[in-house]
Amino acid sequence: MGRDGRAAVLFAVLLGALLAAGYLLPVVHALYFEAADAAPVNAPEGAPDAGGAHAPARAPVPRLEAPVALLAPTLVAAALTLVLGVGSALTGFPFDVARRVAAVWFGGG
């Protein structure tokens, strides 16, 4: 890769880092630097909210961290990562097949 190719890769990496920072900084700012408008759902009964007013008593609502529609793809991807990672050392898995094809096409062993 020539000098121009390295400069293009460096530019792409820096641009990606700046875009990621621009995407995430508003979230960090909202979480850490803006005042909360209401008491948390699981706040103790009668605990004051950010404005000093006392929140009405309410029962905590049990819920998952995220909806199942968001958890399912994440769990499937994690399971496939484990299966393919562990399976790459076993005979017959994709890495072994790719190695055999490369040996036939390019020679070697």
Residue 39 DSSP one-character state: -
Residue 51: closest CA among 34, 32, 37, 41: 37
Q: What is the pLDDT of residue 76?
A: 93
Q: Which residue has the tokens 């390295």?
A: 6
* Full-model pTM: 0.34
> How far is 16 from 22, CA to CA, in rounded Å?
10
Q: What is the pLDDT of residue 31?
A: 79
Q: What is the pLDDT of residue 12?
A: 93
> How far is 87 from 95, CA to CA, in rounded Å?
8
Q: What is the pLDDT of residue 16?
A: 95
Residue 94: partners with Cβ closer than 8 Å, 6 or more residues away: 84, 87, 88
Helices (H), the chain: 3-33, 68-87, 94-106
Q: What is the pLDDT of residue 79?
A: 92
Residue 21: closest CA among 33, 11, 29: 29
109 residues of the chain, pLDDT tens digit each: 667 788 889 999 999 999 999 999 988 888 777 766 655 555 555 555 555 565 566 666 666 567 788 889 989 999 988 887 787 777 777 777 778 888 888 886 5
Q: What is the pLDDT of residue 97?
A: 77
